[in-house]
Structure 1
Amino acid sequence: MALLEVQDLSVRFERRDGPPVKVVHDVSFSLDAGGTLGIVGESGSGKSQTVMGLLGLLASNGRATGHARLCGENLLAMKPRALNRIRGDRVAIIFQDPMTSLNPFLTIERQMTEALQLHRKLTRRAARRRAIEALERVRIPDAVRRIGMYPHEFSGGMRQRVLIAAALMMEPDVLIADEPTTALDVTVQAQIMALLREMNRDHGTAILLITHDMGVVAELCDDVMVMYAGRTVEKASARNLFVHPLHPYTAGLLGARPRLDAPGGAPLRTIPGNPPLPGSGGAGCAFAPRCAAALERCHTQMPPLESIGAPPHLRSRACHLPISDSVELEASA
């Protein structure tokens, strides 16, 4: 049985000036113990709202439906108190902006030891010692002194390490990392990715990585789910997806990566147009207006997510294009 199994998860938001807006449509995926899954897509594709929905962290006007089972327990059916016991303990989250996750009025010690005292019932002294050890493991120098400092006294990379340290010391079953390397320089990005790999390798922590960076996915993830306009358009192992993407949107994402082997002066490739606004899609494929290979029915019929192949090469895609006649996927070259 999968450690985390999500089935037909949908997220909608109520509006005062109109009908509800559905931002996530019937998303399903699973994550095994020790596995790594990347959820990728442009901003507004529904990646973060998928995770917020399954953990009960939506805004007050949001509602999630479907099933999200952690070790067989449906998170969506839990009372807030029961869900609070899981968040930060069995499931830890690293948000993309550490300054919005860390309280500027509390020291790092206070923010790290609170979870240990609540979930592990440690004394303040024991919790402080565990927190210092965690900071040292993520290579924060002079951790004994720095633990008494405030978030604004740390650099962006250091604050991100603090969040990873807080997650690491709880030894969660699942770590959700939402754009953990956004706005960090490449050196710090490499250090953050190394820490995530270490957690996965040494502690068997399952990692759910939300990102728009295909390079980060290639470095860390076993499997990949590509989202567009709140829907899953392709799922595959990372190896299969990078070698042979089957959906034009996936090919576009891969083609937009900077390449060291590109001819000098060659411009970066882009996907033309813009993603649709939530709730503005028509009856057909949401990507059709931007797809160079769209068929006539792509504009009028929503393609179902269909399975292709067999284990260990089983994958899924939602596209009307026949695989044999699909658009030339230059990104796999």
Structure 2
Amino acid sequence: MAVLLDVENLGVRFSRKDAAPLEAVSDVSFTLEAGKTLGIVGESGSGKSQTVMALLGLLASNGSASGVARYRGKDLLAMDTRALNAVRGARIAMVFQDAMTSLNPFLTIERQMTETLQRHRKLSRKEATWRAIGALEAVHIADAARRVGQYPHQFSGGMRQRVMIAMALLAEPDLLIADEPTTALDVTVQAQIMDLLRELNRERGTAIVLITHDMGVVAGLADDVMVMYAGRSVEYASAESIFTAPSHPYTIGLLNALPRLSDDGDAPLVAIPGNPPPPGAVTPGCAFAPRCPYAYARCETVRPALNAFGARGAMRACHWPLSELKGRVR
């Protein structure tokens, strides 16, 4: 299958007035094939959102990106604003994690949705409105012809998230980026949103980049997974490999922290001790070493390289022998 997005050595840094630049993301590489789903996981502050913001040119004014990000062979990072605007919303769309703050409370859903079609598809207002209604129906919003004229506050949290997904899909993009799409939603609504994304991927062939801290969400949707820690990729492999044979202590820690139906009622969750380093913190060795149960002297002084292993382009950044980590997931 053709490669849709190919990212090499992506870096993100933010300039600061009275301090050295903050390195938020360093040397991140991944590929995404058309019609596939990539899950990017990690704790808050690991660089997940900044990675995709850099691809779309949505960094804060003091931010800059380096590396290469080829979308259909063209480098997104080298595009000028006009060229990037032709891609954003039309070929690559994004669903942000807080639908209430992403939607304009002063405009109806219809006005916010038709703007995309009028800009990118040059449709009339009437044509765009009918397309907007169809998009709302596609994400299973009942009575869409009436509700399209309502305001964001008249929708529940789950319905607002569906509206955001409908808006992202209006121009029929090749790639949908979903940044924490189930945050602040109850479990039932989370399941509905994930079912919707799965349906869009399967029936429309829309490629998806799913950003989340929830390993359970990734297990139900992703083909491949990139695990990030302190702004770097520490493991990259197929979802099957990640969940059955994780190769990095951090990934193992995330999986061991998940509750299981097989556990009895008294089984405690196994938390990863300590906290992630603050964004931009400079460490001479492995950033995860202070929290890693397998760390030894070399981990504290030498940063592990991201090296290939196994099949399908799997990679890991760890000094510990892979054979010694097998079977460590509870």
Deviation, structure 1 residue 87:
0.7
Worse-superposed segment, 318-327 or 206-215: 318-327
Partner residue, 1:299? 300
Deviation, structure 1 residue 329:
1.4
Q: Does 1:319 align with 2:318?
A: yes
CA distance in 1 between partners of 2:233 and 2:130 (Å): 43
CA distance in 2 between partners of 1:262 and 1:28 (Å): 36
Alignment of 1:86-105 (within 5 A): 86-105=87-106
Q: Does 1:13 align with 2:14?
A: yes
**Root mean square deviation, CA, Å:** 1.1
Q: Does 1:232 align with 2:233?
A: yes
Question: Contact 1:103/1:151 (CA < 8 Å) preserved in 2?
Answer: yes
Question: CA offsets, 1:80-135, max 9 Å, x none?
Answer: 11111111110010011001211111110000000101111111001000100111
Partner residue, 1:166? 167
Partner residue, 2:46? 45
Deviation, structure 1 residue 328:
5.3
Q: Which runs of 5+ in 2 are unaligned?
A: none
CA distance in 1 between partners of 2:208 and 2:145 (Å): 29
CA distance in 2 between partners of 1:330 and 1:72 (Å): 39
Question: Contact 2:245/2:327 (CA < 8 Å) preserved in 1?
Answer: no
Deviation, structure 1 residue 327:
7.3
Q: Secondary structure at the match of 1:67?
A: strand
Partner residue, 1:33? 34
Counterpart of 1:143, as a letter, is A
Which structure 1 residue ranges, 4+ long, deviate > 2 Å from structure 2?
325-328
CA distance in 2 between partners of 1:2 and 1:327 (Å): 31
Q: TM-score, normalised by structure 1?
A: 0.97
Alignment of 1:58-207 (within 5 A): 58-207=59-208
CA distance in 1 between partners of 2:280 and 2:132 (Å): 44
Question: Contact 2:245/2:326 (CA < 8 Å) preserved in 1?
Answer: no
Question: Contact 1:168/1:199 (CA < 8 Å) preserved in 2?
Answer: no
Q: Secondary structure at the match of 1:144?
A: helix
Worse-superposed segment, 34-43 or 192-201: 192-201
Q: Secondary structure at the match of 2:188?
A: helix
CA distance in 2 between partners of 1:34 and 1:205 (Å): 5
Question: Contact 1:92/1:167 (CA < 8 Å) preserved in 2?
Answer: yes
CA distance in 1 between partners of 2:15 and 2:326 (Å): 38
Q: Secondary structure at the match of 1:28?
A: strand
CA distance in 2 between partners of 1:326 and 1:138 (Å): 42
Question: Contact 2:25/2:50 (CA < 8 Å) preserved in 1?
Answer: yes
Q: Secondary structure at the match of 1:140?
A: coil
Q: Secondary structure at the match of 1:111?
A: helix
Worse-superposed segment, 3-12 or 139-148: 139-148
Amino-acid identity (%): 67
CA distance in 2 between partners of 1:201 and 1:269 (Å): 35
Deviation, structure 1 residue 171:
1.1
CA distance in 1 between partners of 2:86 and 2:311 (Å): 38
With over 3 angstroms needed to count, the CA separation of the structure-2 counterparts of 1:239 and 1:328, relative to structure 1, is closer
Question: Contact 1:293/1:326 (CA < 8 Å) preserved in 2?
Answer: no
Q: How many residues align?
A: 329
CA distance in 2 between partners of 1:139 and 1:324 (Å): 47
Q: Secondary structure at the match of 1:9?
A: strand
Q: Secondary structure at the match of 2:3?
A: coil
Q: TM-score, normalised by structure 2?
A: 0.98
Question: Contact 2:12/2:54 (CA < 8 Å) preserved in 1?
Answer: yes
CA distance in 2 between partners of 1:292 and 1:22 (Å): 26
Q: Which runs of 5+ in 1 are unaligned?
A: none
Question: Contact 1:5/1:31 (CA < 8 Å) preserved in 2?
Answer: yes
CA distance in 1 between partners of 2:329 and 2:149 (Å): 52
